[in-house]
Amino acid sequence: MNKTTMMKQALVILTVALTVAAFLGCRPEVRAPVVGRNDPHDRQQIHFNDDEIRRDTAVGAPIVKRDLNGLLYITVPVRSAINKTLYVDYRVTFFDKTSQVLSQTGWFTKTLEANTPDQITVNSYDKQAEQFQVDFRYAR
């Protein structure tokens, strides 16, 4: 084989390789969807948006009752656990027996006097309410 023939073969091989590479590189890549991580923590009835408000408050066990119309009422004992008046926001989400959201209140502001027991009371607007979640944050 002479040098010219070898150069032609090398050129053909290079052209084919570049064509295949260009074709493969131009295909639109279908990326896998981004999926959420499994949360190892169960939903609780009382949540705080950060450790500071959790440390600064004391919350008792929720008291749950139904009225004669079947509406769910929850009362949560809460107080400032420090020697300061606190201004906190809270909201309540009500769920049905399959954990589907029935309703969620807006944010309410509550003033907690220093070391003084207090409470919040909220009721559902749907007889199907079976579960609830109360979220606390510092007032905004």
**Lowest pLDDT segment from 17-21, 81-85, 126-130:** 17-21
Report the pLDDT value the prediction gives residue 15, as an integer from 0 to 100. Answer: 78
DSSP secondary-structure letter at 99?
A: S
Counted residue by residue, the chain has a size of: 140
- For the segment 97-108, the average pLDDT, to the nearest whole number, is 97
Report the pLDDT value the prediction gives residue 25, as an integer from 0 to 100. Answer: 63
Using alpha carbons, select from 107, 125, 110, 43 the residue that is nearest to residue 77.
110
Q: With the C-alpha atoms ordered 97, 99, 105, 108, is the resulting torsion angle positive or negative?
A: positive
Give the chain's count of helices (H) and strands (E): 2, 9
State the chain's mean pLDDT as an integer.
Answer: 91
DSSP secondary-structure letter at 28?
A: P
- The whole-angstrom separation of Cα 110 and Cα 86 is 8
Q: What fold characterizes domain 46-138?
A: Immunoglobulin-like (2.60.40)
Residue tagged 């139904």 (tokens): 66
Q: Which two tokens stand for residue 52?
A: 């500071």
Contact 112, 57 (CB under 8 A): yes
Contact 82, 116 (CB under 8 A): no
Report the pLDDT value the prediction gives residue 98, as an integer from 0 to 100. Answer: 96
Contact 51, 57 (CB under 8 A): no
